Amino acid sequence: MPSPTLAALLACCVLLVPTIASPFPTRSVECLDVGTNATATWTNSEGKKCTWTGVVGSNFGAKDGKYGKHGDYGCIGRCGIGCNGISVGSVYTQQCFSHDICSWFGGVGKDPNDPNCGASYKAAVDDFLVGAMQGCRHANPSLPVEAPTVRPVCI
């Protein structure tokens, strides 16, 4: 059992955590199952709502972007980079799927200030951090590289 001083410190920290301002929005985490279809949604830099539907866990391969090579797009929808990059478990969520798709089609990837995908990046941060505690873990698939052939619809 913790000492009274340690217990008071822990209680204090638990009470303070919700009051710390974060630049990233928090919302409920929606888990996705590998191999199922999901629809990514985001708002682009022109203010248009974009959508794209595809398979969770797809492997788009690597992609060069406007700043050089910017992404490993294996395991689409996994919170983290590709299938083997840094992550908190192999977590697959709706917000991480939307961010992966947005950044594949026109974003920078890991930039919260990107005009196309910064908002989807920020929306995925809490999924990255707590998705494993929400039961969103799945084994990573081993799929061949197959880049998407259909572009998103933005209206």
| Strand 153-154 to 49-55 pairing | antiparallel
Domain annotation covers residue 5 = no
Domain annotation covers residue 13 = no
In which domain, by residue range, is 55 found?
Answer: 29-154
**3-state SS class at 125:** helix
| φ, ψ for residue 50, nearest 5 deg | -110, 145
Kindly report, residue by residue over 29-58, the tens digit of the pLDDT. Answer: 999 999 999 999 999 889 999 999 999 999
Q: In the prediction, which pLDDT does 84 show?
A: 85
Any idea of the CA torsion for 130, 133, 134, 139, to the nearest 10 degrees?
Answer: 100
- Give which of 3, 43, 35 is closest to 152, Cα–Cα: 43
pLDDT for residue 17 is more than 60: no
Domain annotation covers residue 65 = yes
The pTM of the full predicted model, rounded to 2 decimals, is: 0.78
Determine the average pLDDT of the residues in 87-91. Answer: 83
pLDDT for residue 67 is more than 70: no
Structure tokens at 63: 């992609």
How many domains is the chain built from? 1
Local confidence band at 14 (pLDDT 50, 70, 90 cut-offs):
very low
**3-state SS class at 39:** strand
Domain annotation covers residue 150 = yes
Kindly report, residue by residue over 106-122, the tens digit of the pLDDT. Answer: 766 677 888 888 888 89
Report d(CA 37, CA 131) in Å as an integer. Answer: 19
Kindly report, residue by residue over 137-155, the tens digit of the pLDDT. Answer: 999 999 999 999 999 999 9
Report d(CA 82, CA 74) in Å as an integer. Answer: 4
Report d(CA 102, CA 42) in Å as an integer. Answer: 7
